[in-house]
Structure formats: C-alpha cells, structure tokens
Amino acid sequence: MNTWIVGRVPVAHHVTRHAYRDDGSLQRRGEKTFFIKGRIMAGQANLASNLHGYVDFKWLAKDELAETLTPEYYRSVKNMMADR
C-alpha cells in the first residue's frame, strides 16, 4: 500500500487511564493513542506477512464506527473525521 502522511502532528488522541483492582493492584495499564492523518495513494491492505497475527480488517465509514467501537472510544475520536 502506498501511503502519504499529511502532517507532522496528531489530529486527535485517546487516553485510557490505569485500571486498578479492589486491592489496589494494577489490573490494566493506561495508554495514549495518537492519530495522524494519512492518505492512501494506491494499493490495498495485505495481511499476508504481518508480524502480529492479524487475519482480517475492515474499511469502515464514520457511522459504521459508531456501531463498532465502544461509546467512550468513539466519543473521543469522532470529531477528527470529516462529516462528508
């Protein structure tokens, strides 16, 4: 796939905070995800030789993301996408 990264700064981000158990121990580490705008110039996603074991992917429109993502995650990223 031939891609072009539009800028050098993120267009959006999503923050997940640490989750703790009742006894105070760490259940899940927090994370920060940054989104960078890019364009696909040519080609198609090919998962044949990926290193992460992925076997499938989806191209989704903005309204389809609302049905697929958790409500918290979608609220965090929905405004970075165009309303076309």
Q: Spell out the domain ranges in the chain.
A: 2-80
Tell if the pTM clears 0.85, that is, is over it. Answer: no
CB 8 within 8 A of CB 38: no
Q: What is the mean pLDDT of the chain?
A: 87
Quote the pLDDT of residue 57: 86
Banded pLDDT at 84 (limits 50, 70, 90): low
Taking only the tens place, the pLDDT of each residue in 28-63 is 899 999 988 888 899 888 888 889 988 888 888 888
Q: What is the C-alpha to C-alpha distance for residues 28 and 16, in angstroms, rounded to an integer?
A: 10
Q: What is the C-alpha to C-alpha distance for residues 19 and 11, in angstroms, rounded to an integer?
A: 26
In the predicted model, is pLDDT for residue 11 greater than 70? yes
Q: By mean pLDDT, which of 13-27, 40-54, 70-84 is the weakest? A: 70-84
